[in-house]
Amino acid sequence: MKVGRPYKGIYPTLSEGVYVDESAVLVGDIHIGTDSSIWPLVAARGDVNYIRIGARTNIQDGCVLHVTRTSFDDEKGYPLTIGDDVTLGHRAMLHGCTLGNRILVGMAAVIMDGAVVGDDVIIGGGALIAPGKVLESGYLYVGSPARRMRALTDSEKAFLKESAANYVVLKNDYVAEQNDS
In a domain, 93, yes or no: yes
Domain span at residue 43? Answer: 13-180
7 belongs to a structural domain: no
In a domain, 4, yes or no: no
Give the pTM. Answer: 0.95
Please give the pLDDT value at position 178: 85
pLDDT in tens, 13-68: 999 999 999 999 999 999 999 999 999 999 999 999 999 999 999 999 999 999 99
- Domain annotation covers residue 79: yes
Whether 8 maps to a domain, the answer reads no
DSSP collapsed to 3 states, 14-67: ECCCCEECCCCEEEEEEEECCCCEECCCCEEEEEEEEEEECCCCEECCCCEEEC
Residue 68 lies in a domain: yes
C-alpha distances (whole Å) from 133 to each of 141, 155, 177 are 12, 26, 41
Element (H, E) at 9: none
The SS3 call for residue 101 is coil
Say how far residue 90 (Cα) sits from the centre of its chain: 11
Domain count for the chain, please give it.
Answer: 1
Distance, CA of 158 to CA of 67 (rounded, Å): 30
127: closest CA among 140, 114, 142, 116?
142
Rounded (5°) CA angle 38-102-98: 75
pLDDT digits (tens, 9 = 90+) for 8-25: 999 999 999 999 999 999
Residue 64's CATH number: 2.160.10.10
Q: Is the dihedral of CA 67, 60, 99, 104 positive or negative?
A: positive
CA–CA distance, 151 with 166 (Å, rounded to integer): 24
Q: Is residue 22 situated within a structural domain?
A: yes
